[in-house]
Structure 1
Amino acid sequence: MDHRSLFLKHIDPKRHIGVEVGALDRPTLSRDDVDVRYLDHLDTDGLRTKYRTHRAISADRIVDISYVWNDGTLAQVVGVGTRFDFFAASHVIEHIANPIGWLNEIHGVLKPGGRLLLFVPDKRFTFDMKRPCTRLSALVDAYFSDRRRPSFGQIYEHYTHAAKVDPSVAWRTPDMAERARILPRHGVPLALDKCRQAQAADAYVDVHCSVFTPYSFVELLRDMVAVGPELLRPFKVVDFVPTPRDDIEFFVALEAIANVAVEAFNDDIMRQIARSADYSGSFDDGGFAEMMHRDEMLRQRYDALLQNWSDSRANGRWKEISAEIMASLPGLDPTLHHEQPGAGAAVGSD
Structure 2
Amino acid sequence: MTARQRALDAVSPSGRLGVELGPLNRPLIWREDGDVLYADHRSTDDLRAKYAGHETVIGPKAQPIVDVDLVLDRQSLAEALGPRAPVDYVVASHVIEHIPDPIGWLNELAGILREDGVVFLVVPDKRFTFDFRRAPSTTGDLVGHHIAAAKLASPVQIFEYVARVADVDPAAVWAGTQRDPRPIFDGQLVRALADARYVAEHRTYYDAHCTVYTPVSFLAVFREIVELGLIPFEIARIDPTERNAIEFYVTLRKRSGESAADRAARTPHLDPRHHHEMPEVPVRGFGRRLTLALRMLRTGSIRGSEAGSHG
Q: State whether TM-score is above 0.5.
A: yes
Query: Amino acid of the residue matched to residue 125 of structure 1?
Result: F
Q: Structure 1 residues 70-79 or 179-188, which shifts more?
A: 70-79
- Give distance in 2, aligned partners of 1:80 and 1:328: 33
Please give the secondary structure, in 2, of the residue aligned with 1:89.
strand
- Give distance in 1, aligned partners of 2:136 and 2:188: 19
Q: Structure 1 residues 23-32 or 208-217, which shifts more?
A: 23-32
Contact 1:98–1:148, Cα closer than 8 Å, also in 2: yes
Please give the secondary structure, in 2, of the residue aligned with 1:218.
helix
Query: Amino acid of the residue matched to residue 87 of structure 2?
Result: F
Q: 1:92 to 1:222 in 2, by over 3 A?
A: same
Contact 1:22–1:39, Cα closer than 8 Å, also in 2: yes
Task: Quote the residue 2:176 is aligned against.
Answer: 173
- Give distance in 2, aligned partners of 1:72 and 1:220: 29
Please give the secondary structure, in 2, of the residue aligned with 1:222.
helix
Please give the secondary structure, in 2, of the residue aligned with 1:254.
strand
Task: Quote the residue 2:261 is aligned against.
Answer: 322
Task: Quote the residue 1:241 is aligned against.
Answer: 239
Normalising by structure 2, what TM-score? Answer: 0.84
Task: Quote the residue 1:127 is aligned against.
Answer: 130
Q: Structure 1 residues 67-76 or 205-214, which shifts more?
A: 67-76
Contact 1:75–1:81, Cα closer than 8 Å, also in 2: no
- Give distance in 2, aligned partners of 1:221 and 1:124: 19
Residue 65 of structure 1, CA deviation? 1.1
Task: Quote the residue 2:44 is aligned against.
Answer: 44
Report Cα offsets for 1:289-322 as digits up to 9, x if no partner.
Answer: xxxxxxxxxxxxxxxxxxxxxxxxxxxx52xx53
Please give the secondary structure, in 2, of the residue aligned with 1:61.
coil
Task: Quote the residue 1:188 is aligned against.
Answer: 189
Contact 2:236–2:252, Cα closer than 8 Å, also in 1: yes
Query: Amino acid of the residue matched to residue 244 of structure 2?
Result: D
Residue 333 of structure 1, CA deviation? 1.2
Task: Quote the residue 1:214 is aligned against.
Answer: 215
Contact 2:14–2:33, Cα closer than 8 Å, also in 1: no
- Give distance in 2, aligned partners of 1:201 and 1:25: 32
Task: Quote the residue 1:31 is aligned against.
Answer: 31
Report Cα offsets for 1:259-303 as digits up to 9, x if no partner.
Answer: 25xxxxxxxxxxxxxxxxxxxxxxxxxxxxxxxxxxxxxxxxxxx
Tell me if 1:93 matches 2:93: no
Please give the secondary structure, in 2, of the residue aligned with 1:117.
strand
Q: 1:339 to 1:252 in 2, by over 3 A?
A: same
Identical pairs, percent: 38
Please give the secondary structure, in 1, of the residue aligned with 2:242.
coil
Tell me if 1:115 matches 2:132: no
Please give the secondary structure, in 1, of the residue aligned with 2:249.
strand
The gaps in structure 1 that reach 5 residues or longer are 261-316
Contact 2:139–2:222, Cα closer than 8 Å, also in 1: no
Tell me if 1:19 matches 2:19: yes
Task: Quote the residue 2:298 is aligned against.
Answer: none
Contact 1:69–1:77, Cα closer than 8 Å, also in 2: yes
Task: Quote the residue 2:288 is aligned against.
Answer: none
Q: 1:56 to 1:188 in 2, by over 3 A?
A: farther
2:157 to 147, 154, 159: 154
Please give the secondary structure, in 1, of the residue aligned with 2:11.
coil
Q: What is the aligned length? A: 285
Please give the secondary structure, in 1, of the residue aligned with 2:31.
coil
Tell me if 1:343 matches 2:291: no
Residue 73 of structure 1, CA deviation? 3.7
Q: 1:200 to 1:226 in 2, by over 3 A?
A: closer
Q: Structure 1 residues 156-165 or 181-190, which shifts more?
A: 181-190
The gaps in structure 2 that reach 5 residues or longer are 283-304
Residue 331 of structure 1, CA deviation? 1.2
- Give distance in 2, aligned partners of 1:12 and 1:191: 42
Question: Which of 1 and 2 has greater Rg?
Answer: 1
Residue 94 of structure 1, CA deviation? 0.5
Q: 1:245 to 1:141 in 2, by over 3 A?
A: same
Q: 1:50 to 1:203 in 2, by over 3 A?
A: farther
Please give the secondary structure, in 1, of the residue aligned with 2:32.
coil
- Give distance in 2, aligned partners of 1:58 and 1:201: 32
Report Cα offsets for 1:68-110 as digits up to 9, x if no partner.
Answer: 2245543222216711111001111101111000111101111
Task: Quote the residue 1:331 is aligned against.
Answer: 269
Report Cα offsets for 1:128-158 as digits up to 9, x if no partner.
Answer: 0100000111101111111111111111111
Contact 1:174–1:341, Cα closer than 8 Å, also in 2: no
The alignment's C-alpha RMSD in Å is 2.2
Please give the secondary structure, in 2, of the residue aligned with 1:322.
helix
